[in-house]
Structure 1
Amino acid sequence: MRILLILAAALGLAWAQGTLNLYTWTDYIDPSIVRDFEKETGLKVRITYYESNEEMQAKLQAGGVSQFDLVVPSDFIVPVLIKLNLLQPLDKSKLPNLKNLDPKFTNPPYDPGNRYTAGYLWGTVGLMYRTDVFQTPPASWSVLFDPRAQKGAFTFMDSPREMLGIGLRYLGFSVNSTDPAQVKKVIDAMLTAKRSRNFKGFQGGVSATKLLLANQAVAVVVYNQDALRVAEGNPRYGFTIPKEGSTLFIDSMAIPARAPNPEAAHRFINFILDARIGARLAEYQQSATPNAAAKKLLKPALLKNPAIWPSETQMRVLEFILDQGRNNRILDEAWTQVKSR
């Protein structure tokens, strides 16, 4: 019996060593990149998907920290994952392609010195809309929050910090405000929008775009990547950042603290950071890349797309979401009120 157990353990270890368990956002990687990685390394990639940072965090805390080899968290959730001991430091000796990152992304405030993370893609959150309903891009978030400005069915993003941040910007506040009076105004504004017959619920980026394409909504809050990839070349749909502003995000690659195959995770991170692979990833996702070497290889049309690379004017009203430490509970409680009432 003991021999059988030893053999089973050995077989399990061998299986784990030949597999990379990737936990990432829905439709967030070109399948051909995965196939090329498998061909080059001999490793098998198993992918599990999530649609919010909070979902990913909950899964890691529920045992996923020892089930997945690689996750792709957004900037603001990284300090939380580190504090909860859910991530392990990167072994940079195994990541020679880290040199390809733009210097702006090599010492991010959420992870000084890239101790735990390496940049994947970056982008914005905005409004995807039907051009047959909006002849010109919606200028204000009022098309969601003000019943008088609504032109049909709409959805909110099912992600606390992004959606609360948009509400705060609409009201003229910072996306990172935890001032109780300002947060109360956001709660009231979102509840007013929820009471509208046009409100069609909280949706992840992929599910929201599907509602729009099925003519079940006229405007949805999504990541620019989802909007651009789904509606590429289709004049019936547009994407815009309303004048009040919105949130910026950087998604990064990180290794869970008890990953079964950290060696495979490092190989995958280094593979993605290759200039050619990084360019393919950005073009597939219709996304901005933190990889300076990859950016040099991008097609001119992508580099000139304002929905991917915000203008200087837009950058002035875009903010990164920051971890608020103990004050996170203020925003958590606000989100609970918005969702439950």
Structure 2
Amino acid sequence: MGAAMLAASFCFLHGCGKNEEVNVFMYSEYIDPAIVESFEKETGIKVRINTYENSEDMQAKVQRGGGDSQFDVLVVSDVQVPALVTLKLVQPIDMNAVPNAQYVDPQFIKAPYDPEGKFTLPYQWGTVGLIFNKEVIKPEDVSWAAIFDRNQAAGKFILMDSMRDMIGIALKYQGKSMNTKDAKELEAATDLLLAAKKSPNFLAFESGVAGKNRVIANEAVAAIVYNGDAVRDMGKNAAIDFAVPKEGGVIWTDVMMVTSKTKNAANAHKFINYILQPKISAALSNFNRYPTPNREALPMIDKVDLTNPRVYPSKETMQKLDYLTDVGEATGLYDKAWTTLKAR
């Protein structure tokens, strides 16, 4: 009897049942396979990684495709959090089951997108900027004008297939709030994006990963991408660089959440807790080349990244960055603008 009880306790803690699994929904190319393997080895829980390329597709699949029961852990952008909570697609995290949350930098706890700190724990953070060919665009004078001003056009470019990021960047270039609720300002930003789309230099709307790949392959001069995607592969082409343009850009935090109808709640919490181990958080950032939100992981971050302003922005750049926030009822205006942009 004692042996049986010990075995049962071990299985509860480590997940040794034959059907133990955790289903994670995240951006593509966003976790080191070695982390998945080590989690599976240590816990006996099979990790099934499902991927998406933009937030709009993610929310649609979770909301209308039964994703709140199909997936256990969501890794999503901060701007999506209020909608997921309002739609009751996620549940509060049991913080008692995630003791490694103690290592999270305080700025990522009770953040504006989760003011009570109930639903999220941070995964990575970073910026949106421009990956570019520095033989065409000078690194010391990177501007969104390379995309939006035909008189300063540098060559073929790719826009990011992400509604809030693209509209926000257009607003930023025009000197407006990236979170405006003003219909006229949104109309002007849409017109700017339409002009860019109609430019002979426009190639496509792509995910950050796909856009990065096309610039590295010399198919485009510039693309709007996430900083880690760029930094991770820039070494493949010596002519490629990344920067947040001088006008400023987007700063973001991607967070982990537990779905409302998860069938594997305990395993979801174990996965989140594992990611927040300092050594695992450091390994994650060293693989992704994004900044870590884990203060205890910083001493284990590769020094070349800690001193790289493409990864950890300078104070000057940080002052020019803005978070995308929930715009409430104005979301309809953004949806309309994006639909117009894609259709024309």
Q: TM-score range by the shorter chain?
A: over 0.9
C-alpha separation in 2, matches of 1:287 and 1:206? 14
CA 1:337–1:77 in structure 2 vs 1: closer, same or farther (change >3 Å)?
same
CA contact (8 A) 1:17 1:264 kept: no
Structure 2 CA distance for aligned equivalents of residues 216 and 172 of structure 1: 30
Amino acid of the structure 2 residue aligned with 1:332:
D
Q: Distance in 2 between matches of 1:248 and 1:334?
A: 22
SS of the residue corresponding to residue 242 of structure 1 reads: coil
Taking a change above 3 Å as real, the CA distance of residues 181 and 16 of structure 1, as seen in their structure-2 partners, is farther
Return 197-206 or 128-137, whichever deviates more.
128-137
Give the C-alpha shift of residue 312 in structure 1: 1.5
Equivalent residue, structure 2, for 1:333: 336
Cα shift at 1:15: 7.8
1:237-284, CA deviations, whole angstroms, 9 ceiling, x for partnerless residues?
A: 100111111111000011111112111110010000000000010111
Instruction: Letter of the 1:263 partner, please give it.
Output: A
Deviation sequence 1:199-233 (CA, Å, 0-9, x none) = 01111011111211222111000000110112147
Flag the 1:16–1:117 CA change in 2: closer, same or farther, 3 A.
farther
Matched ranges for 1:33-182 at <5 A:
33-61=35-63, 62-182=65-185
2:54 alignment partner AA: S
Preserved contact between residue 141 and residue 244 of structure 1 (Cα < 8 Å): yes
* Greater Cα offset, 327-336 or 73-82: 327-336
Is the CA contact 1:17–1:261 (under 8 Å) kept in the aligned structure 2?
no
TM-score normalized by the length of structure 1: 0.93
Listed as ranges, the matches of 1:168-317 within 5 Å are 168-232=171-235, 234-317=237-320
Residue 23 in structure 1 maps to residue 25 in structure 2? yes
3-state DSSP of counterpart to 2:152: coil
Q: Equivalents in 2 of 1:329, 1:226: separation in Å?
A: 30
| Aligned-CA RMSD value | 1.4
Query: Would the aligned equivalents of 1:164 and 1:186 in 2 still touch at CA under 8 Å?
Result: yes
3-state DSSP of counterpart to 2:76: coil
Q: Is the 8 A contact 2:156 2:202 kept in 1?
A: yes
The match for 1:11 is none
Q: Which residue matches 2:4?
A: none
Q: CA deviation at 1:310?
A: 1.3
Distance change >3 Å, CA 19–CA 101, structure 1 → 2: same
Question: Who is 1:4 aligned against?
Answer: none
* AA aligned opposite 2:184: A
- Structure 1 SS opposite 2:135: coil
Name structure 2 gaps, 5 residues minimum.
Answer: 1-15
Q: Is the 8 A contact 2:27 2:53 kept in 1?
A: yes
Letter in 1 for 2:263: P
Secondary structure at the aligned position of 2:220 is classed as coil
The alpha-carbon distance between structure 1 residues 130 and 37, as it changes in their structure 2 partners (threshold 3 A), is same
User: How many aligned positions are there?
Assistant: 328
The 2-side partners of 1:108 and 1:288 are apart by 17
Quote the offset at 1:235 in angstroms: 2.4
Conservation of the 8 A alpha-carbon contact between 1:278 and 1:294: yes
**SS at the partner of 1:33?**
helix
Separation (CA, whole Å) in 1 of partners of 2:217 and 2:131: 14
Alignment-mate amino acid for residue 26 of structure 2: T
Residues 158 and 203, structure 1, Cα contact 8 Å, conserved in 2: yes
- Which digits, 9 at most, give the CA deviation of each residue in 1:87-121, with x for residues without a partner? 01111111000000001111111112321110000
Helix, strand or coil at the partner of 1:251 = strand
The structural deviation recorded for 1:149 is 1.2
Shift in Å, 1:134:
2.2
Q: CA, structure 1 residues 66+15, in 2 after alignment: closer, same or farther (shift >3 Å)?
A: farther
Instruction: Write out the 4+ residue segments of structure 1 that deviate beyond 4 Å after TM superposition.
Output: 14-17
User: 1:32 and 1:111, CA in 2 relative to 1: closer, same or farther beyond 3 A?
Assistant: same
Distance 1:68 1:249, change over 3 A: same
Preserved contact between residue 139 and residue 241 of structure 2 (Cα < 8 Å) = no
SS at match of 1:155: strand
Q: Distance in 1 between matches of 2:18 and 2:276?
A: 23
Partner Cα separation in structure 1 for residue 144 and residue 138 of structure 2? 16
